[in-house]
Amino acid sequence: MRAPQSHLRFAPARLPEETAELRADLRALLEREHRAGTWEDRGKSWNGHCPELSRKLGEAGFLGLTFPKQYGGHERTQLDRYVVTEELLAAGAPTAAHWVADRQSGPLILRFGSDEQKERFVPPIARGESCFCIGMSEPDSGSDLASLACRATRVDGGWSLSGTKIWTSNAHFADYCIVCCRTEAKDDGNRHAGLSQVIVDLKGSTGITVRPILNLGGLHEFNEVVFDDCFVPDDCLLGEPGDGWHQVTSELAYERSGPERFLTNFHVLRALVGVLSQSDRESTRRLVGSLLSRLWALRQASISVAGMLQAGELPNVEASLVKDVGTALQQELPEIARAVALDEQIDDVAFWEVVHHATMLAPAYTIQGGTTEILRGIIARGLRLR
Ligand SMILES: Cc1cc2nc3c(=O)[nH]c(=O)nc-3n(C[C@H](O)[C@H](O)[C@H](O)COP(=O)(O)OP(=O)(O)OC[C@H]3O[C@@H](n4cnc5c(N)ncnc54)[C@H](O)[C@@H]3O)c2cc1C
């Protein structure tokens, strides 16, 4: 039997010294805004909606960091963007108003869009004024995205879109949704053929119903979105018709590789360290030390992924591994925090609220952006184990 060939590679990467200034500037802005009461609840992080903060971040030059200057960007590196993302997450800043647009919709439009689409959609993203959401999952298509049924048919001047998307985060306040839909009949020989992506103007179109779905924490973060004969003009078809699968999978690479996959729960660790600061128990200190070292190892792996992206590589397997290990740690964290705080007889109400809230949201981490099983399939294929 031939031994499996390993393609796993975490090239050592360091954050360049120039990023220290960027980090300090952003940290100062965030501290100022937090003190001024722009936001209070650190727990919502990239699910928290604060258009005012997103605009301020855009104005200060922290968004569209890697985009071309021609489209309002700053032509900085993936490692610069990494630092900005890390600081926003560590501060628990509410960033949902720009997160998806800055992370994946902007890069997607820059890569596959027409010049007119780049001019129209990208500068407002860099200014933090344009909110996008992701229209991939459907009631009967999640992991198996290629089976989706949402359909766009040709009409005069554009397309008529009909079908249902589900779990669509932020659709209730987003300006646009990039919808993956079928534009050609199913080809049983090639399941990935005949898909396309369209940019749907959620506020300016008719034939769209957005219904809230409350998550386990009772929060309204995602939705069911029904398109019923919704008109999408020709100039909102993104990329080539029929090329949607290739586009959507490159979009997922942006979605999976960032530090949100291990830092969304950073406020839980912060709260835990806060309440345990007086503890002199050796076992507690060891536990906190082990959590921090796991986090640090993930951070090094994640910086390495950012370094490879900057070098123009496509580290899909490494990014999947970071998401798998990172989301597992995020899911464990509230459980560990609960156990050690019970042991230490912590009765700080604010701390317990943080832990309870994080416990309710934790199951989502290993589902959103691709489930653990799907990621492990990608890793196994990358390592030629299947
Ligand atoms: C908080 C949150 C936010 C989300 N936001 C969005 C969004 O904005 N836009 C969007 O489009 N979607 C969004 N999603 C949906 C998410 O992408 C899907 O839930 C996910 O892809 C899984 O699809 P599913 O729920 O249909 O589960 P299914 O695909 O039905 O999977 C069910 C179970 O079967 C397992 N499974 C499925 N296929 C395989 C296989 N081949 N091998 C092994 N195991 C398998 C899965 O791992 C899972 O455990 C969000 C989800 C969450 C939790």
Rounded distance between C-alpha atoms, residue 153 and residue 162, angstroms: 9
Whole-number Å distance, alpha carbon 22 to ligand 1 midpoint, is: 36
Distance (Å) of CA 55 to CA 30, 67, 69, 90, 350: 13, 17, 18, 19, 30
Whole-number Å distance, alpha carbon 45 to ligand 1 midpoint, is: 21
Q: Ligand 1: which of 225, 368, 378, 386 to mutate, most ligand atoms within 8 Å of CB?
A: 368
Per-residue pLDDT of 143-169, as tens digits, reads 999 999 999 999 999 999 999 999 999
What are the residues facing 211 on neighbouring strands?
A: 224
Tokens representing residue 244 in the block = 């949607």
Q: Ligand 1: which of 141, 143, 170 to mutate, most ligand atoms within 8 Å of CB?
A: 143
What domains can you pick out in the chain, each with its CATH number?
A: 19-130 (1.10.540.10), 134-244 (2.40.110.10), 257-382 (1.20.140.10)
Q: What are the helix and strand counts (H, E) for the chain?
A: 13, 8
Rounded distance between C-alpha atoms, residue 180 and residue 137, angstroms: 9
Q: pLDDT value at position 3? A: 47
pLDDT band at 187 (very low <50, low <70, confident <90, very high): confident
Rounded distance between C-alpha atoms, residue 151 and residue 164, angstroms: 9
CA geometry: angle at 350 spanning 348 and 356, to 5°? Answer: 100
Mean pLDDT of the chain: 93
Per-residue pLDDT of 322-376, as tens digits, reads 999 999 999 999 999 999 999 999 999 999 999 999 999 999 999 999 999 999 9
Is the distance from CB of 360 to CB of 216 less than 8 angstroms?
yes
45 φψ region: left (φ > 0), alpha (ψ -120 to 50), beta (else): left
Per-residue pLDDT of 239-294, as tens digits, reads 999 999 999 988 887 788 789 999 999 999 999 999 998 888 999 999 999 999 99
pTM for the complete prediction?
Answer: 0.95
Q: pLDDT value at position 6? A: 61
- Write out the DSSP string of 256-311: HSSTHHHHTTHHHHHHHHHHHTT---HHHHHHHHHHHHHHHHHHHHHHHHHHHHHT
